[in-house]
Chain A
Amino acid sequence: MVGWNVGGAFVTLAVVLAWSAVARLRLVSPVFLPSPEATGQALWAGLNQGDLASLTVGTVERMVVGWLLASIAGVVLGGLLGVSPALRTYLQPTLEFMRPLPASAIMPVGIALFGLTPIMVTAVVAFGAIWPVMLSSAHGFSAVEPRLTEVARILRLSRLAFLVKIGLPSALPDVLAGVRLSLTIALILAVVGEMLASQQGLGMAILLAARSFHAADLFAGIVMLSVVGFVGNALLQACERRALAWQATT
């Protein structure tokens, strides 16, 4: 296994070297393809002397706040939906219609309601990120093992006790999967929101870099965004493994 990982690392290195060669030979104009060295330099300079770090923090802040709001609301609403078949018959079709709607299509409505403000970005992020959590929580809560529901009835558990002691642990895999997906959506919406509303963040930074033809800064910004996405996803996956460790199959 280790051998293949090392081999894979070599392939990645080879790709980077090929990129460097293409940039040096100017096969693609350096206006849009900076060399990896230039990108690295821009990253280093931006993090040390420039404000790349604070811009990243700005984007992450907007992403996380919206995502937290969406996750909490999504789990609660999804739970309510999941345990009530009646509610589901009335609401599910509408929700299924909202599912393929691009979350960014809500952006103009957000701008109309809140203007080009930080509140708008957070609101749009929260609204867009709520759907995966809500829908997968509803699915998770509705699929509780019937035997467990019978156990709850025998023990005369209250609704709330049922939700907390049986419903939530049973739905946790679906809920966490939905939460992870909504983090991805939150990042996308935060970046688009920054581009539109000129908020201090990575989205604005890469847009400005493109407009002023600073390709190295542009690539450095793209790398930072990928790192944010990767780190967020990795953290959530670690939490998921911890939280679901008691399950035999994950």
Chain B
Amino acid sequence: MSVWRRVLRALLLPTGMLAAGEIVMRVQGYAGDALSKPTDVIVALYRALADGTFARATAQTLASSFAGLALGTSLGLAVGLWFGLSFVARSLSAPTVEALRTVPAVALIPLSMLAFGFGVRMESSVVAFACIWPMLILTQAAVRQVEPRLLEVARMLQLPRSGRISKIIMPAAAPRIFVAFRISVGVALVVGITVEIAANPYGLGYLAVTSQQNLRPDLMLATILWIGLLGWGLNAALHGAQRRAFPLAPDRVAVPQQGTR
């Protein structure tokens, strides 16, 4: 099936449902505060993009999320590499890691509020905590899953430890580590938006909550739509980069759940 036919088929259901909703709302003369006609939502989306509301809120959300992402993933990467390479470190740290992993990131929102007040630091610290775990666990798994044949090659070439790590293990683990990073980006965005909705007066989540409180359902729905587009766009961009840089990387990697190593 050609690409166009597939795209048309994909758009058929959502446009159909939106059109149906539009017609029903217009016929009924819906004037409530909870929902909005799809056309109103699209107008609100366009207006918010045009006058910079979305630009400002998106910049705020991305700033905190990416700051937390950078911190969390670098920590997770470093520790994950260490645990992947060292059986002793891995085994001794396992109970502590499993215990810390159980803490839901949202539970830290009040603590972060207490420590940092409102703003970028509060949000990025919660995001950082949430991003450490997928990165740590998947990096550790990636290092451990390096093909044994490659390790035999390293032994045969009598590579020193540093050489083995930099020349054999890192390039082999890189694709899976990139997938772990992609997952962490998704986590960062989700946790960032959640923190904004729950507490932080900052960014896209806060815009959605205030639109609802100001009885602007069109802007609220437009913001949610924009958040969805943002998440989808980020994931698509990273997926494309992954396919270019690491063509052999697996498409999806499951984060091993608690209780499994």
A interface with B by C-beta (< 8 Å): 4-5, 7-12, 15, 31-32, 89-94, 97-98, 100-109, 111-113, 177, 180, 184, 187-188, 191-192, 195-196, 202-203, 206-207, 209-211, 213, 215, 218-219, 221-222, 225-227, 229-230, 233-234, 237
CB distance from B191 to the nearest CB of A (A): 8
Interface presence of B102 (CB below 8 A) = yes
Main secondary structure on A side of the interface with B: helix
Interface presence of B245 (CB below 8 A) = no
Distance between Cα atoms of A209 and B111 in the complex (Å): 9
Interface presence of B147 (CB below 8 A) = no
CB distance from A117 to the nearest CB of B (A): 13
A89-B9 CB under 8 A given contacts A102-B189, A111-B212, A218-B114? yes
Q: Which residues of chain A are within 8 angstroms of B102 by Cβ–Cβ distance?
A: 226-227, 229-230, 233
- B113–A102 CB distance below 8 A: no
CB distance from B174 to the nearest CB of A (A): 24
CB distance from B9 to the nearest CB of A (A): 5
CB distance from B55 to the nearest CB of A (A): 19
A112-B220 CB under 8 A given contacts A9-B95, A237-B259? yes
Q: Which residues of chain A are within 8 angstroms of B193 by Cβ–Cβ distance?
A: 102, 104-105
Interface presence of B96 (CB below 8 A) = yes
- A100–B12 CB distance below 8 A: no
Q: Which residues of chain A are within 8 angstroms of B11 by Cβ–Cβ distance?
A: 93
Closest-by-CB residue of A relative to B105 is: A188
A225-B107 CB under 8 A given contacts A90-B10, A100-B189, A107-B197? yes
- B224–A105 CB distance below 8 A: yes
- B91–A105 CB distance below 8 A: no
Closest-by-CB residue of A relative to B236 is: A100
